[in-house]
Amino acid sequence: MNRLNGNAPSRPRIGVLALQGDFAEHIHMLGLIGITAVEVRKVQQLSEIDGLIIPGGESTTIVKLLTRFDFIDGLRSQVESGMALWGTCAGMIVIARELTDPYPTPLGLIDIGVSRNYFGRQVDSFEQELVIKGIEGAPMQAVFIRAPIVNDVGVGVETLASVQNGVGTQAVAVKNGRILATSFHPELTRDTRLHELFVELATEAANDRIRISPDITEGTPSQA
C-alpha cells in the first residue's frame, strides 16, 4: 500500500476471503458502513490489506482451499505482523488452536479450542439476543447456523459473549488483540456493529503499517 508516514488513512483496506462461503454478505455489510472490501482469492493480496474476514461456509473445504492455494504461511505471517483477522462460524473453526473433531486441521491463529456443529444440524439453526462486550446499545441478534462453540479459552483471549446451555456458560465470541472470532453470523443481520468493531481493529493495523513503513517521499539521507 502506498501509505506515507504521518498520513493516516481515513479507511483501512479490508479483504474477505472469497474461496468459499458467504463472503458476499460480509462485503455487503462492510459497504453499509462505507468500506469497499476486497475479494481475496490470492495470497499476494494479503500484503495489500489491513484486515481479513474468513466467512462462514464449510470449514473443511476452506482449509483445503487455503492449503491448495498456498495461503497458510502467508496468512500466518501477516497475522503475526499485526493484520486484523475475523473468523465467523466456519472461519472461527479455521483459525482455532484445536478442534474436538479430527478434521479439518485448524491454523492455530487464536488460542481457543472449538467444537464444530455444536448446536446441531441446519434444521437446528436458531437466533438469540446477545450482549457483546465492547458493543454499545441494545443486545445483538445473533444467527447460529450449524454453529461451533468455544470450549476452551487460552491465556490472553477475552470472551466477548457467551450462551447458557446444558453444560453451563460457553463463549461464542472471543478476541485476542486484533483477532476476533464469532460462532454466529453477524453478516446475516442488519446490525453492522461487529463489522464496525472489526474496522477499528483494521484501522489500528493500518496505523501500525504507517509507523513502520519507510518514508518513500524522502531521498536517501545525506551523509554527514
Range with top average pLDDT, 70-74, 161-165, 216-220: 70-74
Report yes or no on 217 lying in a domain. no
Report yes or no on 152 lying in a domain. yes
Report yes or no on 181 lying in a domain. yes
The string of pLDDT tens digits covering residues 36-78 is: 999 999 999 999 999 999 999 999 999 999 999 999 999 999 9
pLDDT reported for residue 122: 67
Residue 221 predicted with pLDDT over 50? no
Range of the domain at 151: 14-212
Residue 211 predicted with pLDDT over 80? no
| Confidence label for 141 from pLDDT (cuts 50, 70 and 90) | very high
Report yes or no on 189 lying in a domain. yes
The string of pLDDT tens digits covering residues 105-139 is: 999 999 999 999 787 666 567 899 999 999 999 99
pLDDT reported for residue 222: 36
Provide the CATH number for the domain around residue 126.
3.40.50.880
Q: How far apart are CA 169 and CA 95, in angstroms?
A: 22
Residue 174 predicted with pLDDT over 80? yes
How many of the other CB atoms lie within 10 Å of CB of 198? 28
In sequence order, which residues have a C-beta less than 8 Å from that of residue 80 and are 6 or more positions away? none
Amino acid at 138: A
pLDDT reported for residue 11: 85
| Catalytic residue IDs | 89, 185, 187
Dihedral sign from CA coordinates of 94, 100, 104, 109: positive
Report yes or no on 9 lying in a domain. no
How many of the other CB atoms lie within 10 Å of CB of 65? 17
Least confident span in 4-13, 34-43, 78-87, 135-144: 4-13
pLDDT reported for residue 6: 45
3-class SS shares of the chain: helix, strand, coil, % to 5: 30, 25, 45
Dihedral sign from CA coordinates of 24, 25, 26, 31: positive
Amino acid at 46: L
Least confident span in 65-79, 157-171, 173-187: 157-171
Count how many domains the chain has. Answer: 1
Report yes or no on 18 lying in a domain. yes
